[in-house]
Amino acid sequence: MKRVIIILIIAGTVLTEVVEGQDKSWTLGDCVTYAVENNIDLRRQKLQTETSEVNLLKSKLDLLPSLNFGSDAQLGFGRSIDPVTNLITFEQNFSNSYYLNSSIEIFNGLANVNTVAANKLMMKSGLENEKVARNQLILDITGQYFQSLYAKGVERASRFQLDLSERQLFRIKRMVETGKEAVSKQYEMESRVSTDRLNYTVAQNNTNQALTTLKQMLQLEAGSQFDIVQPELDTVVVSTPAYDTDSVFSIASQVLPRLRAIEYELEASKKQFSAAKGYLLPSIEIGGRIYTGYYQVLNEGAPTQDSFSDQLRNNNSQAIYLSLAIPIFNNYVTGKNVKLARIRMNDTELKLELEKNNLYSEVENACLDFNRGIDEHAAAVANLAFNKKSFTAVEKKFESGLVDVTDYSAAHVTLFRAETEALRTKLQVMFRKLTIQFITTGDYEYILSN
Model pTM score: 0.82
Dump pLDDT digits (tens) for 377-430. 999 999 999 999 999 998 898 888 888 888 888 988 999 999 999 999 999 999
- Reported as a pLDDT band with limits 50, 70 and 90, residue 448 is low
Q: Describe the strand order of the beta sheet including 317-325 as a list of residue ranges.
A: 66-76, 93-107, 283-297, 317-325
Average pLDDT over residues 67-93: 85
pLDDT at 311 over 60: yes
Q: Give a yes or no: residue 176 inside a domain.
A: yes
Mean pLDDT of 297-304: 78
* pLDDT score of 444: 65
Q: How far is CA 367 from CA 138, 247, 370, 430, 445, in A?
A: 19, 11, 5, 13, 21
Number of compact structural domains in the chain = 1
pLDDT band at 19 (very low <50, low <70, confident <90, very high): very low
- Report the CATH number at residue 409: 1.20.1600.10
Query: What mean pLDDT do residues 58-67 have?
Result: 94
Do the domain assignments include residue 179?
yes
| Opening angle at CA 213, ends 212 and 218, nearest 5 | 95
Q: What are phi and psi of 237, to 5 degrees?
A: -95, 125
**205 inside domain:** yes
**Percent of the chain beyond pLDDT 90?**
62
Contact predicate 405/192, CB 8 Å: yes
Flag whether pLDDT at 1 surpasses 50. Answer: no
* 23 domain-assigned: no
Residue 15 pLDDT greater than 90, yes or no? no
Give the pLDDT score at 8: 34
Query: Strands, E, within 222-307: which ranges?
Result: 227-228, 283-297
Instruction: Decide: 98 and 70 in contact? Cβ < 8 Å.
Output: yes
Give the DSSP H/E element, type plus range, for residue 105: strand 93-107
pLDDT score, position 446: 58
Q: How confident is the model at residue 158 (pLDDT cuts 50, 70, 90)?
A: very high
Query: Is 90 exceeded by the pLDDT of residue 321?
Result: yes
**Quick check: 2 and 9 in contact, CB under 8 A?**
no
Can you give the pLDDT at residue 242?
77
Q: What is the mean pLDDT of residues 256-282?
A: 94
Per the domain annotation, does 100 fall within a domain? Answer: no
pLDDT > 80? residue 21: no
Q: Range of 129's domain?
A: 28-38+113-281+330-448
Classify strands 283-297 and 93-107 as parallel, antiparallel or unpaired: antiparallel
Q: Which residue has the higher pLDDT, 55 or 305?
A: 55
**Residue percentage of the chain with pLDDT more than 70:** 93
For residue 16, pLDDT beyond 60: no
The per-residue pLDDT of the chain, averaged, comes to 87
Residues 224-245 have pLDDT tens digits of 889 999 888 776 777 777 788 9
pLDDT band at 12 (very low <50, low <70, confident <90, very high): very low
pLDDT score of 13 more than 80: no
